[in-house]
Chains A and B, each alone.
Chain A
């Protein structure tokens, strides 16, 4: 029995005039296209490894990959006698339907692209957006992933991110935080200010400039209220804030300056008489 390859290739597969040969061509073009897309996208990823943030790099890699695959598909489809010009008419109607159906998807996509260019947030930034506080885990084409401070995964559609007020806590190099510290009225406020400044100076990340500011803010019911403004690197401010306050308290106490307890001085309109069982009136106290 002889086996003729040409005859086999020309066998119709039963769908229109498509033969095994054209089906093979279609498959080969598509496989080559996918292979080329993989090689190119891998090289693009490697080339941009140090130059672009991960989110933008991955977006670009995906665009390159799917662009090449789509290109291969357009080249391969005529092999299946698929008339692409027919897509123009069908595409118009389908586009209208899909457009309405995917309005929010497109909106999220466009918002995602704008977010990539505007850069209000980056992966790793501490943010508050649309009422969600946490750190940015990923910026995808359609959504932004935020890990809240409790470790909860939160997906926010990019349209919402783009149209909401975004607070980026680490966008600037440094940020300021404050302490309210009370000392007793009998304590020396100037000494307290000096001691607080000394403690702040000992912390490496309590910035030298802008200089910390410590001052008497107001006179409270129970003591003198001091306010301390301290600048710290934006990405480390919480560590500084949590470590300094206790050190300040300890140092003040070492120097005899203490926090005031709530207290009231009560004045009686009449003399207060204290009586005992056998001696009667013993005296009066305020």
Chain B
């Protein structure tokens, strides 16, 4: 398992991923290779630790948005009914440097390709990382370091049937937990057949999971848990 805390030198290799710290000429050097792309930094540290954990999937190939749009098979939901489903969501791997009083983002990498989309009209919509998933009734097996499991509770609080085939999230609120699998828990409350509120829940899917350090925490960006109002339709 690549995720966790590391001191001094370490090496982890899995498929196309190689993450290691080595001493080159007496200097500690962080090296990463992922699908042919490489990254290297010299680390000058006495007590610092390296933390590797899954992070919000909106940073690659470069950070242009906070939003994640999950597209899934269309569901028709009866008024007043709630349903919990499981989706696969993309993950990225964050590497952090932690000292006694500070934490810094060292590297972010991920497997596979990314695709972005526009949610809403060009004039007032938002750019979002797009990902497509099938709908599962229980946590599906996922590909390591590429995907995680999202538990999505959908509640139709409107008085009409609602068709849902996508959910847009503000990744700033995302809470990721991991052990051998990466998970997040989210909720979607349908207000009208074309409008819904989405939010993440700060709870692990299973006991004994570790909470990820979010990039927003590491970047010291103040975050107010705000959720997201999907006002441009649910499909």
Interface residues of chain A, those whose CB is within 8 Å of chain B, are: 50, 172-175, 201-202, 204-205, 207-210, 231, 233, 235-236
Contact = CB atoms under 8 A, between A and B. Distances in A.
Interface string B147-167: 000000000000000000000
A273 to B, nearest CB: 63
B113 interface: yes
Contacts of A201: 115
Given A50-B222, A233-B64, A236-B64, A208 B125 contact: no
11 contacts: A173-B120, A173-B124, A173-B125, A174-B118, A202-B113, A204-B61, A204-B114, A205-B61, A208-B116, A209-B117, A210-B122
Contacts, number: 50
B19 interface: no
Contact of A231 (B119, B122, B222): B122
B130 interface: yes
A173 B122 contact: yes
Given A174-B125, A236-B64, 8 more contacts: A173-B122, A174-B127, A207-B117, A207-B118, A209-B117, A209-B118, A209-B130, A233-B64
Given A173-B127, A205-B64, A236-B64, A231 B113 contact: no
Chain B interface category by residue count: 20 to 34
Contacts of B122: 172-175, 210, 231
Contacts of B116: 204-205, 207-208, 233
A202 B116 CA distance: 11
Interface of B: 60-61, 64-65, 113-120, 122-127, 130, 222
B60 to A, nearest CB: 8
A238 B117 CA distance: 17
B126 to A, nearest CB: 6
Interface of B is mostly: loop
Contacts of B65: 233
A208 B115 contact: yes
A207 B115 CA distance: 7
B113 A208 contact: no
Nearest to B123: A172
A208 B130 contact: yes
Nearest to A176: B122
Contact of A210 (B64, B113, B118): B118
Given A174-B122, A204-B61, A205-B64, A233 B115 contact: no
Contacts of B126: 173
Contacts of A235: 64
A204 B114 CA distance: 5
A82 to B, nearest CB: 47
List 4 A-B pairs, minimum CB-CB distance, nearest first: A208-B117, A204-B114, A174-B122, A209-B117
A188 to B, nearest CB: 27
Given A233-B64, A236-B64, A204 B127 contact: no
B79 to A, nearest CB: 28
A233 B118 CA distance: 8
